[in-house]
Chain A
Amino acid sequence: MKKVLFRPSKLKIFLLLFSLLTLPQFYAQDNEPEVEDGPKTIEAVPDADPVKGKELFNSLCAACHKPYRKAVGPALHGITERRDLDWIQKWTINSRELIDSGDSQAVAIYEEYNRQAMPAFPQLSNEDVNDIVAYVEQPKPEPSGGKKDDSEDREIAGGGGVSTDVILGILAFVFLMLLVILFLVNKTLRRFAEANNVELYKKKEKSKPIWVAFAENQFLVLVSVVVVLLMVAYGGYGYLMQVGVDQGYEPIQPIHYSHKIHAGENEIECKYCHSSARKSKHSGIPSLNVCMNCHKQINEVAEETGNDEYSKEFYDNEIQKLYEATGWDPDTQSYTGETKPVKWVRIHNLPDYAYFNHAQHVTVGQIECQTCHGPVEEMEILYQYSPLTMGWCINCHRETEVKMADNPYYEKIHEELSKKYGVDKLTAAEMGGLECGKCHY
């Protein structure tokens, strides 16, 4: 169990100092290595423009083809070695025609892919096809993640507020210098005094050591014992109260599923996957067939999804784990029927005696998922955001006003209760949301 939530600030300060020393190099770094290389010219289509090809590929072909991997259709990289350009142009613009003409290569590929013909693209010109070919024939880029050394990574990670950090660093340096100067001045003065036989300190009369005096004063002893006991009790209570509170619990899951990518970058609505939250007490871990709705097509992440902490290869490998679990064979684009259900580690655990219903909060209360689960869309690895303690529940019930508008169920009760309490808005507590039996049965 990994239980780190907030990075300790010490590390940040250390990094800051460190970055001060390496400042010149740091600024010399270039963030975009790709621009340097530029697209390569492809022998078969020397005049084509791979940049335009990429655009066309992404808008028309990417649904079924991947440059380096088989998807619904075959991988396209290396196509110029397999087929001649003329054939490629004909096939792309109207494959049906080519098949019907009895072209042996065309028929073979038609049979191989279960007689699923590729749709025709009459809007493409031969040049367009050449551009696409130029794009797919670009050599496979080397994986970019994992090459840079760690220190650089961290600098990038911590490089958000450089200017203030620099100022702080300079200030710290100034203080340090001041200290050194002070020490040196003091030392020099002392030497002078010694040389001139000036007595610096009067000899003190021998008095009782303070701890002896303290020990002899019974009142002080009593008070301090009481204080110590109270502190121990307070500390002990505090310790015991956090037993079973797993705020920040961030277990390692069998598949590295990133909510940041799904809910954050791709903005998938929470309840698309956690659909039962609308009508059930459970929000439900989505069944794997929900994942496959998208991942049948998406068998790898985009180049830019890979980041410094997790590389593209890493993510692609996680998608493979999903395929393994569902028994999906990306080569044949079919299910093998062999499934291995995923054993997720449950993060939010309420005790058995507490009843919680998602539908009540999500559908009726119209509460955002993030209210309890935190900024899930920013979590690379999901952790428990809220303490899930009873005090936390109760607080919310005290403060949250019930959304009664346009719900005929509440009409009568709202009218009566607002008359009783003399308020227009009612909290969950006023509706009886603090009663023991509402959650414990």
Chain B
Amino acid sequence: MNEENLNQDMSSEKKYWKSAEQLKENSPIVDALEQNEFVEHIPTDEFLGDKENLESSKTSRRDFLKYVGFSTAAASLAACEGPVIKSIPYVVQPERLVPGVSDYYATTIADGFDFGSLLVKTREGRPIKIESNKEATSMTAGKPRVHASVLSLYDINRLQNPMIDGKQSTWSAFNKEVKEKLDKTDKKIVLLTQTFASPSTDRLIQEFSEKFENVEHVVYDSVSETAVLDAFEQKYGIRALPNYDLSNAESIVGIGADFLGDWLGGGFDGAYSKSRVPQDGKMSKHFQFEANMTLSGANSDERFATKPSEQKHVLVEIYNQIVGRAASTNLSEKHQAAVKKAVKSLKKGGKNAVVLCGIDDVNAQLMALAINEALGSELTNLSNPRMIRQGDANKVSSLIKDMNSGHVGALLMCGVNPAYTLPNSDDFTTGLEKVNTVVDFALTMDETAKLSTYVGALPHYLESWGDVRLTYQDYSLVQPTIKPIFNTRNFQECLLDWTGNSKSYYDYIKSNFVESNEGVSWNATLHDGFYQSSDKFDTSDIDTSVAVSASKLLQSKAEGLELTLYTKSGLGDGQQANNPWLQEFPDPITRTSWDNYLTVSRSDADELGLTNDNVANGALNGSYANVTVGKTTLQNVPVYIQPGQAKGSVGLALGYGKKESIQEEMQVGVNAYPLYNNFNKVQEVKIEKASGTHEFACIQLHNTMMGRKDIIKETTLEIFNTKDKDYWNQTPQVSLDHQETPVDTPEVDLWNEFDRSIGHHFNLSIDLNACTGCGACVIACHSENNVPVVGKSEIRKSRDMHWLRIDRYYSSNETLAGDYDKKDNIKGLSSALSEFGELEKPSEENVEVVFQPVMCQHCNHAPCETVCPVAASAHGRQGQNHMTYNRCVGTRYCANNCPYKVRRFNWFRYNQNDEFDYHMNNDLGRMVLNPDVTVRARGVMEKCSMCIQMTQLTILEAKREGRPIKDGEFQTACSNACDNGAMVFGDINDKESVIAEKKEDDRTYYLLEYLGVKPNVFYHTKIRNTNEA
């Protein structure tokens, strides 16, 4: 700045300058800028195209806008004409089919991992929903995977034709060529199959072995139960799994066994829940020793985070104290005390006590069997063991050796995908090249099918015939519920063809059944879906000489971190990885969808420098880690810090990271099978931090209740039995004229009360004691109500569309009771600031978990209804809060005013939209939609309707038949799917109904009752059994 300028500044005529350039006199830039905004010429003409044409055009900008306006108006008026809709009736209508009326068929799922009796709801010949076969004697389907399997039927990536050398072929050519190859083979023919547990298939394979000499049948379970099978076989002489009936349990001790998950095929939860509901002041006591946080641990009364190596010591110690001294153990003080408690409880339980052990070791399994025997446990149903796992890991290993040494002439595979699921899949792949003929039967062109010369397209189980022996006594039938969609054929049908048997597989099963069950009606069995024979397994000749070597069990000492591989209740072993419902199904424990991840304890994470944090919009991010087992390393595994994870242990789910024949959106997660060495789910690992952050799709971002009893009420069995209801389940008080008044008194009510005593009044009861959080209701709700799948990135933005969610809360102290105390004792600002902060964080290792299913509470005084400007949300006399999609204009006031956050907004059109390329975007996938429920459009709010389409149908059926409605007829999709009895639905105006009784129960409370919104959904206080035995 020069002097002149300074002088000028001081004078009254100030001159401000914009840049140094302005100070120069006659600067061309300054001149130019004064004339023109931009110094450089802006090539508008080039940008707009041909200058001459543009100038000669008579269309001005205004004219253009007029044309646009006119043509838009004209187009929209023309579009008002309705489309011509065609209706095509049957030429010959099947006799029993009535369009618009659902038919139900009883069938059985047996895909090698999931087994169960179920009912299939079909409409106009297409299956649209899976329900439990409640009448069946064993394994009524309750798992989310089974409910979702109907969508896998409509997977567009399924194989549509048999393939030879990667080219489409016909079945006649396929069978002819394979048979020729089999005839010519002079080396060994090996059948490598899933567990069929099918008597007819076993017989067929027997016949096949007789026709072609030198046949070996190897059964391969991708997630192996070999140790349990071996132990049971050694002791009882039958290759089967023990069967447990926990309904009368008094004491349950689980050691590394997630029996509410997929342990031994799962399905123990229904009976377990029965024992968990306090009756006459009694309920079961459940101890769980485990490393990963599992459903079983989350539901236990006392959970002890225990590393896999310590679990062995716990088992041996229990054995020592109950059966007799076997080996000396080395346990921490805490665990010693825990074992002491557990043993006391077991001894007290006696015949109603059981030890469930999930350690992959024959000795451990033998010890567990011995403990139960010593207890005299009647919960082990020895006369009816489970037949649903037959795999032999040793045989699989030796098969791969044989293949590599060139001893195998032909390999016929069915229902397995070893190229993906084998830990040593590379050995398998190289071995496969040395096998002359490779035949694979698969649903999709998966990793193994890609490597096979002959690929048989398998039908989905909903399209096939079959029989399954679920347990020793329980026989179950598979029947088709739809005509095969593609040109597919069962493995068994081909076996019949190859062995020169002209019978159809249906006839084969039927004659087989009639032969082995004389006097039993085939039609009745087919109708019911199952048959229980009275022929019990004879347990009289138990081999008592089986030696148990506890010292061998304790031999291996783990150093460093121990990995426990597990299967998620969503994807399981990964067969249904292309199922968008299951991908978006949030894991009950981590509440994270679309991923698998390494679960790490907080203290290990801190040591390794692994972090989890929430970004600005709340979404969860996590570090990556490299996981090394032996020589195998998995790169960039996302890390999830899991409360309750035993220190020194990590967990990782199998079934993810599948790539072949899977839509790009669903190729998520990492494949953990390469770490599954020797089919042992426990491995020693090295973990190091990798660079980068992973974006999780986690739908619950706040993990504790911060001591608020209004959400989940919990008390102990002792208090429940001894104290008054008001002590542990007090109705909330609100201030009326400075008087504390119970919220249910009419005077405090803002709203007028309506008379709801006439007609039906629906209520839903949810028992927090019976709910294990399995999530079957969530998938059932999806399938009943056409809930869209939104994809990972939308989930991250909290735009999930689930009408029903299962909230999972951790305690921030060691127990929830501790949280309540802490909150009640907060005094003053400083204490509030620090202690609420502490309450936000879940406790690290010792943590209590509760599950709470939350859907629309159908408030009688609904806050959402009063704020809707267009009355799209209105109340029905039957207690349901109606949501009228065609009225809704999408203001979202209702969602803002809902205290339970159960309303979901359609941010996009989720059907027929390439941005959401899931089942609703293709013709095949849309076949699963329920025709009685609207597929919602973009821009409208939606929420749980309390399955009004189901209640209305029940009413209509009764009116049509002219009869009153019986209790139990009213159901919702969730209550119908809940095999645990946690959800009960019904009409409270029917005074004799179960629901009316439940509403009057002492344990009944309402979610956030102090708001006074009077929900029609109520909960039953969770009771924890903390009694010392």
Contact = CB atoms under 8 A, between A and B. Distances in A.
A282 B99 contact: yes
Interface in B360-404: none
Given A325-B91, A409-B962, 5 more contacts: A251-B84, A287-B93, A341-B89, A359-B960, A435-B874
A229 B379 CA distance: 83
B959 A438 contact: no
When A and B form their complex, which 4 residue pairs have the shortest distance between CB atoms, in order from nearest?
A437-B882, A280-B100, A287-B93, A287-B90
B503 to A, nearest CB: 26
A299 interface: no
Contact of A276 (B99, B878, B952, B956): B99
Contact of A343 (B88, B955, B964): B88
Interface stretch (B412-420, B884-892, B1006-1014): B884-892
A130 interface: no
Contacts of A436: 872, 874, 876, 882, 884, 887
Interface in A411-440: 411-413, 416-417, 420, 431-432, 435-438, 440
5 contacts: A346-B85, A360-B959, A364-B960, A409-B962, A431-B759
Interface string B871-909: 010101110101111110000000000000000000000
B87 interface: yes
B882 A435 contact: yes
B932 interface: yes
A310 to B, nearest CB: 23
B85 A349 contact: yes
B755 interface: yes
Given A276-B98, A359-B960, A412-B964, A441 B949 contact: yes
B934 A352 contact: yes
Nearest to B785: A441
A279 B98 CA distance: 8
A243 interface: yes
A354 B93 CA distance: 27
Given A409-B964, A441-B945, A420 B99 contact: no
A104 interface: no
Interface string B950-984: 00100110111011110000000000000000000
Given A244-B82, A407-B962, A435-B877, A342 B98 contact: no
Contact of B100 (A284, A344, A364, A412): A284
Interface of B: 80, 82, 84-93, 98-101, 755, 757-759, 872, 874, 876-878, 880, 882-887, 932-935, 945, 948-949, 952, 955-956, 958-960, 962-965
A86 B886 CA distance: 77
A344 B91 contact: no
B887 A409 contact: no
Interface of A: 1, 243-244, 246, 251, 276, 279-282, 284-290, 325-327, 339, 341-346, 349, 351-355, 357, 359-360, 363-364, 406-413, 416-417, 420, 431-432, 435-438, 440-441
A279 to B, nearest CB: 6
Given A352-B934, A355-B932, A409-B964, A437 B959 contact: no
B84 A282 contact: no
Contact of A360 (B86, B933, B956): B956
A432 B877 contact: yes
B86 A344 contact: yes
Nearest to A288: B91
B759 A413 contact: yes
Given A325-B91, A341-B88, A438 B99 contact: no
B733 to A, nearest CB: 34
Nearest to A360: B956
Mostly, the A contact residues are loop
Given A287-B89, A289-B91, A417-B758, A349 B82 contact: yes
Contacts of B933: 441
Contacts of A244: 80, 82
B87 A435 contact: no
A288 B89 contact: yes
A80 to B, nearest CB: 41
Contacts of A351: 886
B956 A357 contact: yes
A440 B886 contact: yes
Nearest to B758: A416
B885 A353 contact: yes
Contacts of A420: 755, 758
Contact of A285 (B87, B92, B757, B874): B87
B956 A432 contact: no
Contacts of A344: 86-89
Contacts of B98: 276, 279-280, 284
A289 B100 contact: no
A339 B88 CA distance: 13
Nearest to A362: B960
Given A364-B959, A408-B962, A413-B758, A341 B87 contact: no
Nearest to B760: A413
B964 A438 contact: no
A327 B92 CA distance: 11
Contacts of B89: 284-288, 341-342, 344
Contacts of B948: 437-438, 441
A51 B885 CA distance: 68
Contacts of A345: 84-87
Nearest to A292: B92
A281 B88 contact: no
A290 B85 CA distance: 23
Contacts of A246: 82
A62 B171 CA distance: 51
A344 B89 CA distance: 8
Contacts of A432: 759, 876-878
Contacts of A349: 82, 85
B759 A326 contact: no
Nearest to B755: A420
B91 A343 contact: no
A410 B935 CA distance: 33
Contacts of B932: 281, 355, 441
Contacts of B884: 436-437, 440
Contacts of B90: 287-289, 341
B960 A363 contact: yes
B195 to A, nearest CB: 41
A349 B84 CA distance: 10
B92 A287 contact: yes
B86 A440 contact: no
Nearest to B885: A353
A369 B86 CA distance: 22
B755 A352 contact: no
A280 B101 contact: yes
Contacts of B956: 357, 359-360, 364
A352 B934 CA distance: 6
A358 to B, nearest CB: 8
A440 to B, nearest CB: 5
B882 A409 contact: no
B964 A289 contact: no
A343 B948 CA distance: 33
Contact of A289 (B93, B883, B935, B958): B93
B589 to A, nearest CB: 33
Contacts of A412: 964
B377 to A, nearest CB: 49
A353 B934 contact: yes
Given A276-B101, A432-B876, A346 B86 contact: yes
A281 B949 CA distance: 12
A157 to B, nearest CB: 30
B961 to A, nearest CB: 8
Contact of A437 (B86, B91, B945): B945
A396 B887 CA distance: 21
Nearest to B90: A287
B360 to A, nearest CB: 49
Contacts of A287: 89-93
Contact of B934 (A360, A410, A441): A441
Contact of B959 (A288, A343, A407, A440): A407
